Amino acid sequence: MGKQANLYSFPSVDTLATALRSYLISCQEVGIERHGVFKVGVSGGSLPKTLAQALLAPAKDESDKVKWESWEIFFADERAVPLSHKDSNYFLLKKELLDKIPEGTPQPTVHTIDESVLDDTQELADRYEQALVNSFAARDSVKLPIFDLLLLGCGPDGHTCSLFPGHELLRETEAWVSPIEDSPKPPPRRITLTLPVVTHSVRLAFVATGGGKKEIMKDIFEEGKGLPCALVNEATGERCSWFVDNAAVEGVSYPKRPFSL
Ligand SMILES: O=C(O)[C@H](O)[C@@H](O)[C@H](O)[C@H](O)COP(=O)(O)O
């Protein structure tokens, strides 16, 4: 078996955010080196807040700078609601992070869903896939879009993006972006990157904090149980890093590593 996912555990969200910042800068530099931009997919939940804590902190020096103008931000999943709706992942990211990027700083490019087709989730997914095609290369010339980094959350049931345990979407092999009409977690209508796109990312980082996560972390890291987060771990190995706090992995026997780049 190849190398396994890295599990980094921190005493607090503050120390986690500091390490996450270094990791993000390192991924940013690899992306810029690779193709002149940094293509990153983000999720909702508590992630935007932790990201803001990591990214809005002042740079320690030149090599620690967030080069916002090179960031191309996509959504790993999005709810089929208007962009100004409280359930929108874009709205959340805007409120927590984008609106707080200081004025006068070059801004990132952000790819939102097309609000004009909210009543048709297949069309919503197709248009978002087209945005990926336009950004990454024509669909017929690449099998899959390869993100520089995906920033993911882990639900209490082991879901990530809008890929839920046991759902037929886990078997999708063709589409890059799929609709889902029956998300067990509300709101039910969403779009999501599919598992092949997720697992082909250059790097992946999960952020999971709080004692409420420890049971599902045991399931993911000790038994797998076919949970979406475990499937991602198994498919991506050492390309995948988990940034967690100690409370989230209390009692989890999987070896934790000291954080290093
Ligand atoms: O799909 C959703 O409805 C949520 O956005 C979800 O995917 C979230 O990312 C996880 O549940 C982790 O949430 P926390 O980061 O808040 O623990």
**C-beta of 228 in contact with ligand 1 (< 6 A):** no
The answer to whether position 61 is within a domain reads: no
| Residue 1 clears pLDDT 90, i.e. is over it | no
pLDDT in tens, 28-76: 999 999 999 999 999 999 999 999 999 999 999 999 999 999 999 999 9
DSSP string, the chain: --PPPEEEEESSHHHHHHHHHHHHHHHHHHHHHHHSSEEEEE--TTHHHHHHHHHSSPPSSGGG---GGGEEEEESEEESS-TTSTT-HHHHHHHHTGGGSPTTSPPPEE----GGGTT-HHHHHHHHHHHHHHHH--TTT-SS---SEEEE---TTS-BTTB-TT-GGGG--S-SEEEES--SSSS--EEEE-HHHHHTSSEEEEEE-SGGGHHHHHIIIII-TT-HHHHHHHHHGGGEEEEEEGGGGTT--SPP-----
Query: What ipTM was predicted for this assembly?
Result: 0.96
pLDDT in tens, 200-212: 999 999 999 999 9
| Residue 137 clears pLDDT 60, i.e. is over it | yes
Q: Whose CA is nearest to atom 10 of ligand 1?
A: 155
Half-sphere exposure (Cβ direction) of 158: Cα atoms closer than 13 Å: 23
Omega of the bond prior to 186 within 30 degrees of 0, cis? no
The answer to whether position 14 is within a domain reads: yes
What distance in angstroms lies between residue 193's CA and the mean position of ligand 1's atoms? 15
**119/94 Cα distance (integer angstroms):** 23
**C-beta of 179 in contact with ligand 1 (< 6 A):** no
Contact predicate 37/145, CB 8 Å: no
Report the CATH number that the domain containing residue 245 is assigned in CATH: 3.40.50.1360
**261/4 Cα distance (integer angstroms):** 15
Angle at 73 between CA 170 and CA 182, to 5 degrees: 30
**91/96 Cα distance (integer angstroms):** 9
Domains held by the chain: number = 1
The answer to whether position 157 is within a domain reads: yes
Q: Whose CA is nearest to atom 4 of ligand 1?
A: 45
At residue 173 the predicted structure's pLDDT band, cuts being 50, 70 and 90, is very high
The answer to whether position 36 is within a domain reads: yes
Q: Could you count the other beta carbons within 10 Å of the beta carbon of residue 19?
A: 17
Beta bridge partners, 192, equal 77, 178
| Residue 140 clears pLDDT 90, i.e. is over it | no
The answer to whether position 66 is within a domain reads: no
Angle at 190 between CA 184 and CA 195, to 5 degrees: 85
Q: Whose CA is nearest to atom 3 of ligand 1?
A: 185
What distance in angstroms lies between residue 205's CA and the mean position of ligand 1's atoms? 14
**C-beta of 48 in contact with ligand 1 (< 6 A):** no
* Positive/negative CA dihedral, 50, 51, 54, 57: negative
pLDDT in tens, 104-126: 999 999 999 999 999 999 999 99
The answer to whether position 87 is within a domain reads: yes
* Positive/negative CA dihedral, 172, 220, 248, 15: negative
| Residue 164 clears pLDDT 60, i.e. is over it | yes
Residue 47 belongs to what domain range? Answer: 6-55+73-249
The answer to whether position 68 is within a domain reads: no
The answer to whether position 62 is within a domain reads: no
